[in-house]
Structure formats: structure tokens, C-alpha cells
Amino acid sequence: MFPSSPPLPAPLLGNRQTQTVSELTSSITVLLENEFPFVAVSGEISNVRRPYSGHTYFTLKDSEAQIRCVLFKSQQRYLAQPLCDGARVICRGRISVYRQRGEYQIIVDHVSDGGLGDLQRRFDMLKEKLLAEGLFASEAKKKLPAFVGKVCLITSPSGAAVHDFLSTALERFAGLQVEILPAAVQGASAAREIIRQIEHANKRAWAEVIVLTRGGGSLEDLAVFNDEELARAIYASQLPVVSAVGHEVDFTIADFVADQRSPTPTAAAQEIVFDKDEVVARLKRLQEQMVQGLQNTLRQKEHRLAMARRHLADPRRLVDHYRLKVDHVSLHLVHCFARKLEWATHRLDGVRHAFTAQGPERKIAGSLRRCEVLEHRLEQAMKNRLQGKGEEVARNSARLNALSPLAVLGRGYALAFTGEGKVIRGIDQVKRDDPISIRVADGTIAGMVKKTTRK
């Protein structure tokens, strides 16, 4: 029975009307349920009861307080392990008031391991350890083939992950071949089953890629992917392993060690499986480029051929070409020579001119002229002289005539001459029998010496 509540002090009651129990309980219910629509409480489980209904009732407590909890049957399938007294857990749910008994309790939706701090610590330690061992090294990662045709899918065949992966993968490439290796992806045996299937896939050596996948889940659901043995199995796998665990935020150890990590099964399908349409388009493009390339080559060769042929077609063209060239060169030569000749002539003229200016010709000419002048002057002078003398001669002739011995002859004198014509001035000039001639006024008498007598 309800313990009777202590009487409220009068001032607090104020003007308030008295309420019935139901009314107050309703108010409390509204208050509590509105105030706490969602709670997450950590504590230790105790007093677990599981009546016929299949629901689980327990108390969550810590050192100072406790609170009633109920986990309905429908939610129990999500438990990793059944609830047991003493377990440290985190319960998520809402506060509910049970009016009939005046009690409040948590209606639990989800129970997770309360030792999350431990879990995180273990995760970090394992990560450090495997990192140090080189399990996450990028050099250790195997490269996925560009065109994956055979895939081993390790997952739960009933999960949404299978469908998500297959629908996307087959849409991209309908020729994809998939083998599903079933394994539990949560729960205690999951890690062991997955390891077995990884080994199995490697033994079969049929697939090109192993895809390890599951749909989304809580952090605890993914605990299996933080298993050390699983990590080592992934590392040891000869086939490349893709980890596609449906969680966006956190990485699992499997993600670190896997050769590739995809956030979801769908993403894995997109990343691993090539899109056939894309490849077909690429093929078509390549074919077109190839045709284009060949056509270009052909055109290029044709062009070169045409060029070559044009040169080859008419040898006369070449002859003409050289003929013109020769002509041109000859012309040039002639021109050059002519210029040179002209220049030489010009120079010769210059020299000749200079030479002539200085040469004897001019002197000769000058002399000649001077001679002529002199001759003329001489003539003139002579003429003048002769003229003068003539007159003088005429004048003197009369005088001379008067004085001439011949005139004397007229007076009876004679002149005797030797045979040689000399005037005989003495007897020594002649001898006996020498011819002589005697000039008289009117002629000459020839004679001979008979005798010379000195006086």
C-alpha cells in the first residue's frame, strides 16, 4: 500500500483545490513522461525476473539509488547476450508511470554493454598493437583488380546487406558472379564464422575479391569486427578483402586491416564493381578514337605522298628549275663582270688621262707649236730682214758695182785665175805649163804659163 504522504504545510496549499489521487497521478505522468521521453542510464543489473509474458523486469542500480526497468519481449532479440544480475549496462529508453501502482520505471529499448570504457580501451590497445605489427601498413594492402568478375560475399544471407550489395553490383555489371559464404555477423560466434569463411574463400581461390559486409548496427553490434583473430585472418588472406560494415562514423579494426574500406554494402558494390555501361561507352570511345587516329595517319601519309609525287611527276621541272638558276647565276656573273670591266675601264681612262696630261705628247705638241711659232717668227724675221737687206743690197749693188773689179776690167784691167779658179796674186801660184784663164771685161781668155819672171 502507498505510504501516506506527510501533510503539506498550509501555505503551500494556497488556493489550490484538493485533487484526487487519479488527478495527481495524471499530472505526474504527464510531467515525467514529457520531461523524460528518452534516457540513457548506466548501472548494474539486479533482480532480473522473467515472467510468462516473456518481458524482462529488472532493477538498475548504483551505490546510492535504484530504478525499475522493463525490457519487452520484442526488444530482447537485439541483445548480444541475455541480461544477468551484476552486469554493468547502459539502458536506453523512456520514463513511464504505472498508475495502478504509483510507480515509475524505464521502458528499455536497448541495452548495451556498460563497460564501454573498457571496450574503447581494449579497442585502442588492439589498434596500437596491430599498427605496431604492421597489419595496417599501406604496403601490405593488396590492389583490387580493375575489373572484378567474381566476388565472395561473406555476410548473413538474410541481412539487408546482401540485397543492398547485390542489387547495386548487378545493376552495374550484370555479368558479375557472386558466391555468398554465410556467416553470422553479430553475436558470440560471429568472429569465428567469419574467419572460417575467409579461410574457405582463400582455399577455394575462386573469387577475385572477398567482401566482408553487414548492414548498419549499434557500436556493440560491430564489436565482432574489432576481433583480433578476425583482423589477423583478414591480414593473412591471399585474396584482397573489402570491409563494408554499415557504419559511417567509426572505423573498426577490420576496416583498418582490410585492403579497402567502404562505408556501406552499397558503397562497396559501387567501388568494387565496374559499371558495364561506362566500360561499353569507353570501348566505343576508344574505337572511335582509333578510327580517327588511323584516318589521320592515312590523311597524313596521303598528303606526304601527294607532295612527293608532285615533285617526282615532272623531271623537266627540275631541269627548268636549274636552267633558271643557271641563267640567273650567269646573268649575275655577266653583270658582275661588266661592272668590273666598266670600273677597270674607268680607272684606265683616269690613269690614261693623268698620264696624257703629263706625257711627252703634250710636250711634243707644245714644242711643235713652239717650233711653228719660232719658224713663223724666223720666217717673218727673215722676210723682214731679207726685205730690208734687199733694199740694202740694191742700194749697195750700185756702189758695189762701181767698185767691182769687173768694172775695173772695163777700164782695161784683167784678172788671171789658176786652173782651180783662184786669183793669181803671185808667181808662186803657178808654174810653167799650168792652165790659166784670164778674165777680161767682155769674156775669158784661156792660156798657159810659158814663163814666170820675178821682178
Asked if 205 is part of the footprint of other proteins (rule: CB under 8 A), the reply reads no
What distance in Å separates the CA atoms of residue 126 and residue 255, rounded to the nearest whole number?
13
Q: Can you read off the three cell numbers belonging to residue 277? A: 555501361
Nearest to 260 by CA among 277, 275, 276, 273: 273
Asked if 216 is part of the footprint of other proteins (rule: CB under 8 A), the reply reads no
Asked if 300 is part of the footprint of other proteins (rule: CB under 8 A), the reply reads yes
Q: Which is nearer to other proteins, 127 or 214 (CB)?
A: 214
DSSP character for 350? Answer: H
Q: Which is nearer to other proteins, 70 or 176 (CB)?
A: 176
Q: What are phi and psi of 127, to 5 degrees?
A: -60, -45
Asked if 221 is part of the footprint of other proteins (rule: CB under 8 A), the reply reads no
Q: Which is nearer to other proteins, 244 or 253 (CB)?
A: 244
Asked if 296 is part of the footprint of other proteins (rule: CB under 8 A), the reply reads yes
Q: Which is nearer to other proteins, 164 or 221 (CB)?
A: 164
C-alpha to C-alpha distances, 294 to 139, 280, 290, 297, nearest whole angstrom: 42, 21, 6, 5
* Residue 40 DSSP SS3: strand
Q: Which is nearer to other proteins, 293 or 350 (CB)?
A: 293
Cβ 186 to other proteins shortest distance, Å: 17
Binding window for other proteins (CB under 8 A); candidates: 132-140, 216-224, 244-252, 282-290: 282-290
Asked if 446 is part of the footprint of other proteins (rule: CB under 8 A), the reply reads no
Q: Can you read off the three cell numbers belonging to residue 367? A: 714644242
What distance in Å separates the CA atoms of residue 177 and residue 208, rounded to the nearest whole number?
10
Angle at CA 79, nearest 5°, toward 201 and 71?
165
Asked if 175 is part of the footprint of other proteins (rule: CB under 8 A), the reply reads yes
What distance in Å separates the CA atoms of residue 279 and residue 44, rounded to the nearest whole number?
58
Here's the x/- map for other proteins, 120-159, by CB under 8 A: it reads as: -------------------------xxxxxx------xx-
Find out whether 114 and 142 touch, Cβ atoms under 8 Å.
Answer: no
Partners of 111 in the β-ladder: 91
Find out whether 156 and 182 touch, Cβ atoms under 8 Å.
Answer: yes
Q: Which is nearer to other proteins, 164 or 227 (CB)?
A: 164
Q: Which of residues 57-116 bind other proteins (CB under 8 A)?
A: none
Cβ 297 to other proteins shortest distance, Å: 4
Q: Name the site residues for other proteins (rule: CB under 8 A).
A: 145-150, 157-158, 160, 162-164, 166-167, 170, 173-182, 200, 208, 276, 279-280, 282-283, 286-287, 289-294, 296-298, 300-301
